[in-house]
A and B are shown apart, each in its own frame.
Chain A
Amino acid sequence: MNLSDFLTSEADALEREFRDVTATDRTPRSIRRVRAVRHGATAGVSVVAMGALVAGGVRLAGWEQEEPAGVPGEDGIITLDMADPSGFDPLATVPACGDLAPEVTGEIEGFTYINRGAQTVAMNPITSDRRGTVAGSVQSTRADAPTVSVSDIAFVWVQDGTVVAYSVSPYARVPQLNYGLREVAPGERFNVSGTLWSRTFRCDSPANGPWTTVGAGTYEVYPVVRVVGSADVAAWMALDRDGFVSTPGNNAWSELYPGSPYCVEEIAGRLDGVEYQGEDGEAAPLPSECSAEPDDPARPNVRDVNYLGSDFPAAVDATLVGEPIEVTVNTSWQEAADRRADASPPHPFPAPLQCGVEVPALARDSSDRLTLFVQSDVFPPSTGQAVQVRLNSSYVVSPTVATLPEEFEAYFLERIDDRDYSTTDPYRVVGRGTVHLTEDHEVTFTHNDTSVALPGAITAYDDCGIPEPNISNWVIETTVLWTDVNGTVEIEYPPR
């Protein structure tokens, strides 16, 4: 049986299994509610260049102030800082570095965390066991059905009784927010998960950056989950319902609210993806328009959002700590990396790359913190053609400044054997160009997972004598200065 046949028969079997299932009343109720809110929010308002947010409940500047937010069960308006994840951060209240291990919690506000699966995890970065998956459940024992967000599992690493590391940087305070904005029925148990792997914040080495690796040894690792029901949650529910694709603080799309300086660029770049949603484009996964100015240019991430009291039936804030899991790291990731480096051939990117040179498949133009892309309306590019250099950041310690040189080389690659679609296929250089940044060379990242495009142009292009290359990847060769709270470092691209 091939995959197509399997999926077809699986769908048929599921349809037979569900033949007596019908939609519940909950769905049409939600539809009516949203339509009512949308109608109420837009009635009588002259809408000029308003994004999807506005239509979905974002209060317009100058509207009469409604009742204050925060009363469970009542509709309200809340001033929401979309970039601030602290209200959902599972590690917000756990013990600090050097403190004693956290206490395992029982039931808090009607929620309990239960470990599932293995209670011991062994990881050996030299072998394939580089990651450990931890599974748990959150059980509601409440009689009511609150709407809550449920975080993914975060971890507190303990050795010899004291906290030595976290799975999430306490600098960035990134919430491990599950897409769990949901109503939790009485008695309902739902699964959560988290991944243990090399990236942790280690208490004893902040100088090495917020993200580093734990050493070899045995740890007690405490899973932590936060369950929140609040006006913030209700506001995110309203935004989500309206097609606003984001989660608090930590999302690649968090900069795409109307008014964002990146919104227009992003929308333009993803217009094709928006259009498929239909003629009106309203169901697009991004706001279809960007307003010219945010309500407060100094705080463009802050919006007033109407929310429904039915999305905030009860206030909940429970940080649940599970029984510790014994985690053994057999070899430190650093040692494993050193061994791999020793076993690897010399640097595969002798610069400048020549036409026809093969480069490894996994050579990506990225480091842990910054990924560089060349974007162009036309591939292959040509001399004089406008391009954008897109920078996607991760693990940002706010604020972080990346400074690029004015010019750098870009190599355009063709997968040598894409019939196999193998991740190990090598690439061949089929074009070379010099990219000149025409405006900014410096970017300030204020949030984790930010995407920024810098305009540029190809000032010289060598097509390597291949008129119709099937360009599927590219490598930028440059050095970026990266400045954050730990100082300035040079990051070479491609990573060496």
Chain B
Amino acid sequence: MAAWQGFYEELATTRYPALLAYATLLTGDRASGEDLLHDALVRVFSRARRLESAHHAEAYVRRTLANLNMDRARSRSYAARAAQRAASQAPAPDHAAGIDDRATMASALAKLPQQVRTCVVLRYYDDLTVTEVAERLGLATGTVKRYLSDARGLLGEYIDPHADAETAPVLATERKRR
């Protein structure tokens, strides 16, 4: 048995539910998550690479899941991307009534464009900093900030407004509160 097969089988038997959960978190639905996970596994295990353990392979797969999801979003047609741009510029919903249940929050998450959703998952689930998200996805930090800003438009009150402060240093003397 080739080394990749051993690691693959370990992931496929013991870690598949966790990976599928992560993929579903990224995509928003199970079917897309399964497709994404299939593609990520094929991508990781079809190449000759130094995999030291199943844990190491899982890290590769998780990274690839996020990147593939971002790539898919990038690769979508003009219309989809245009819609996402338009969505990102749409006025933020009225949060006065608050989002006070899981279903509503899930619904709000489902409205996020995939790029934004991917950044949100890496930032708020994987607990990466903005800089780390940018590095992970090969994006400029400004782009990640913009995506997270877009997310705030829909999820505002559930994102700690101070959570990203460390990633966006601004001289105190320059800050101007509106």
Interface residues of A (CB under 8 A from B): 1-4, 6-8, 10-12, 14-23, 26-28, 30-31, 34-35, 38, 128, 130-131, 133, 151-152, 154, 167-168, 174-179, 182, 190, 193-195, 197, 199, 241, 243, 245-247, 250-253, 270, 272-274, 276-280, 282-283, 285, 362, 394, 414, 416-423, 425, 428, 448-449, 466, 468, 470, 472-473
The CA of A354 and the CA of B135, in the complex, are separated in Å by 34
Extra contacts besides A27-B41, A421-B145, A470-B170 (8): CB < 8 Å: A2-B160, A14-B21, A15-B20, A176-B79, A178-B80, A179-B75, A417-B176, A423-B89
11 contacts between A and B (CB under 8 A): A4-B124, A6-B158, A31-B42, A34-B46, A176-B77, A241-B46, A274-B138, A283-B47, A414-B170, A417-B175, A423-B92
Which of A11, A179, A245, A468: most chain B CB closer than 10 A? A179
Complex contact B16–A18 (CB within 8 A)? yes
Complex contact B83–A22 (CB within 8 A)? no
Complex contact A245–B75 (CB within 8 A)? yes
CB distance from A157 to the nearest CB of B (A): 14
Residues of A within 8 A of B48 (CB): 280
Q: Closest chain B residue to A422 by CB distance?
A: B149
Complex contact B43–A283 (CB within 8 A)? yes
Complex contact A15–B17 (CB within 8 A)? yes
Complex contact B21–A282 (CB within 8 A)? no
Complex contact B79–A414 (CB within 8 A)? no
Contact of B38 among A1, A11, A27, A283 (CB under 8 A): A27
**Interface residue B139 (Cβ < 8 Å from any Cβ of A):** yes
Contact of A128 among B64, B91, B164, B170 (CB under 8 A): B91
Residues of B within 8 A of A283 (CB): 43-44, 47, 49, 60, 64, 67
**Interface residue B118 (Cβ < 8 Å from any Cβ of A):** no
**Interface residue B3 (Cβ < 8 Å from any Cβ of A):** no
Residues of A within 8 A of B67 (CB): 277, 283, 285
Asked whether A3 and B120 contact (CB < 8 A) given A10-B25, A23-B41, A419-B168, the answer is yes
Q: Closest chain A residue to B121 by CB distance?
A: A7
Interface residues of B (CB under 8 A from A): 4-5, 8, 11-13, 16-18, 20-22, 24-25, 31, 35, 38-39, 41-50, 60, 63-64, 67, 70-72, 74-80, 82-83, 86, 88-92, 102, 105-106, 120-121, 124-125, 127, 135-139, 142, 145, 148-150, 152-153, 155, 158-162, 164-165, 168-171, 174-178
Complex contact A176–B78 (CB within 8 A)? yes
Q: Closest chain A residue to B155 by CB distance?
A: A3
Complex contact B18–A285 (CB within 8 A)? no
Complex contact A178–B77 (CB within 8 A)? yes
Residues of B within 8 A of A195 (CB): 79-80, 82-83, 86
The CA of A17 and the CA of B77, in the complex, are separated in Å by 33
Asked whether A34 and B42 contact (CB < 8 A) given A15-B18, A274-B138, A418-B168, the answer is yes
The CA of A345 and the CA of B173, in the complex, are separated in Å by 29
The CA of A7 and the CA of B138, in the complex, are separated in Å by 23
Complex contact A250–B78 (CB within 8 A)? yes
Residues of A within 8 A of B35 (CB): 182
Complex contact A27–B145 (CB within 8 A)? no
Asked whether A285 and B71 contact (CB < 8 A) given A18-B20, A250-B78, the answer is yes
Asked whether A22 and B12 contact (CB < 8 A) given A34-B42, A470-B169, A472-B142, the answer is yes
Contact of B60 among A35, A175, A278, A422 (CB under 8 A): A278
CB distance from A63 to the nearest CB of B (A): 21
Asked whether A11 and B21 contact (CB < 8 A) given A167-B79, A251-B75, A472-B142, the answer is yes
The CA of A69 and the CA of B37, in the complex, are separated in Å by 30
The CA of A418 and the CA of B79, in the complex, are separated in Å by 30
Complex contact B127–A21 (CB within 8 A)? no
The CA of A194 and the CA of B82, in the complex, are separated in Å by 11
CB distance from A67 to the nearest CB of B (A): 24
CB distance from B99 to the nearest CB of A (A): 9
Q: Closest chain A residue to B135 by CB distance?
A: A276
The CA of A468 and the CA of B89, in the complex, are separated in Å by 29
The CA of A468 and the CA of B170, in the complex, are separated in Å by 9
Asked whether A3 and B124 contact (CB < 8 A) given A241-B46, A278-B60, A423-B150, the answer is yes
The CA of A248 and the CA of B149, in the complex, are separated in Å by 31
Contact of A243 among B43, B77, B82, B127 (CB under 8 A): B43
Residues of B within 8 A of A276 (CB): 63, 135-136, 138
Asked whether A19 and B78 contact (CB < 8 A) given A7-B125, A421-B164, the answer is no
CB distance from A449 to the nearest CB of B (A): 7
Complex contact A418–B145 (CB within 8 A)? yes
Complex contact A30–B135 (CB within 8 A)? no
Residues of B within 8 A of A23 (CB): 11-13, 16, 41
Contact of A419 among B12, B82, B127, B162 (CB under 8 A): B162
CB distance from A250 to the nearest CB of B (A): 6
Residues of B within 8 A of A278 (CB): 49, 60
Complex contact B78–A470 (CB within 8 A)? no
Complex contact A27–B42 (CB within 8 A)? yes
CB distance from A185 to the nearest CB of B (A): 11
Complex contact B86–A197 (CB within 8 A)? yes
Residues of B within 8 A of A279 (CB): 49-50
Residues of B within 8 A of A418 (CB): 145, 168, 170
Complex contact A14–B20 (CB within 8 A)? yes
The CA of A456 and the CA of B60, in the complex, are separated in Å by 38
Asked whether A179 and B72 contact (CB < 8 A) given A3-B124, A27-B38, A417-B178, the answer is yes
Q: Closest chain B residue to A37 by CB distance?
A: B46
CB distance from B47 to the nearest CB of A (A): 5
The CA of A151 and the CA of B150, in the complex, are separated in Å by 27
Asked whether A245 and B74 contact (CB < 8 A) given A128-B91, A283-B43, the answer is yes
Residues of A within 8 A of B13 (CB): 22-23
CB distance from B33 to the nearest CB of A (A): 8
Residues of B within 8 A of A416 (CB): 175-176, 178
Asked whether A422 and B125 contact (CB < 8 A) given A6-B102, A273-B137, A273-B139, the answer is no
Asked whether A1 and B89 contact (CB < 8 A) given A11-B21, A276-B138, A422-B149, the answer is no
